[in-house]
Amino acid sequence: MKKISLTLITAFLTVAVFAQARVPEATEAYVELEKVTPGTNNSAPSDAIILFDGTGLEAWQTQQMGPGASMSDISKQIPEMDPDYKGDPAPWVVENGELVVKPGSGGIQTKESFGDVQLHIEWLAPEQEGKEGQMYSNSGVFFMGLYEVQVLNSYENPTYSNGQAASIYKQHIPLVNASRPVNEWQEYDIIFMAPKFSDKGTVVSPARVTVFHNGVLVQNNVELLGPTCYIGSPFYVAHDSKMPIALQDHGDPMRFRNIWIREL
């Protein structure tokens, strides 16, 4: 009798599970999502933080730590970074609603710190006669002040591939070259996922980056090996979970506009 009962129960449960699997409601989820109004023509969505809209540099200040040449430099600088740093007003110029690098004045960084983000930024490489390679309209977008997406004139301007526009500098070559000519506005839409560290300072998950250059996917969720360095191989040094976004002064009068960010 027990054997028959168990058989009947098993059969009943099998039928019930099978029946449930055929009911569409069994696999439907209902979650009330935050409403975000999309922007139009690259304007910011309603939940974005505006970093530059052409009217001023209130969101920016002088950079606390510039790019290090080697990991030896960077690993020494990271522990000295002050999360409560208060710099001087950003020395770059606002001209015709555009943010223009003032060569020789140093990089700038946001007053606010960020971790995982979506960033939109537009930039223009001015024509500069007699310049070529890395010296032709160079700048960079540094997430957390450490991880660079290269900004460079890469339209008919050969240089090393992991240093051209939209490269993760010295780490990842873009999938394609989507550059527009000099004196034309270009767009980056970047997803940056910050590295995560354990209490002991070991890497739990490395930084990852996705980049669209002028609407073209050029970096597809690539894994970073560590901070950007010019010489040698990168490696991770534990740092705060949120740090500023920085723009590089590489000696060229690069122009930027329409900069906004969404925290993820």
Classify 19 as helix, strand or coil: helix
- pLDDT at residue 46 greater than cutoff 70: yes
What is the percent of the chain where pLDDT is above 70?
Answer: 92
pLDDT of residue 207: 98
Give 171's DSSP letter: T
CA distances from 2 to 6, 49, 66 (A): 6, 67, 77
Which band of pLDDT confidence, cut at 50, 70 and 90, is reported for residue 83? Answer: confident
Q: Which residue has the higher pLDDT, 19 or 120?
A: 120
pLDDT of residue 17: 58
What's the mean per-residue pLDDT of the chain? 92
- pLDDT at residue 176 greater than cutoff 80: yes
What domains does the chain contain, in order, with CATH numbers?
49-263 (2.60.120.560)
Segment 93-109, tens digit of pLDDT: 999 999 999 999 999 99
**CA distance linking residue 173 with residue 222, whole number of Å:** 10
CA dihedral 44, 46, 48, 54 (to 10 degrees): 40
**CA distance linking residue 56 with residue 44, whole number of Å:** 17
pLDDT of residue 3: 53
**CA distance linking residue 172 with residue 148, whole number of Å:** 11
From start to end of the chain, where are the E strands?
49-52, 60-62, 93-95, 98-100, 108-110, 117-124, 138-143, 147-152, 185-193, 196-197, 203-205, 208-213, 216-223, 246-247, 255-263
Backbone angles phi, psi at 18, to 5 degrees: -60, -40
Segment 1-42, tens digit of pLDDT: 555 566 666 666 565 556 566 788 888 999 999 999 999 887
Global confidence as pTM: 0.90
pLDDT of residue 4: 54
pLDDT of residue 10: 66
- pLDDT at residue 249 greater than cutoff 60: yes
pLDDT of residue 77: 92
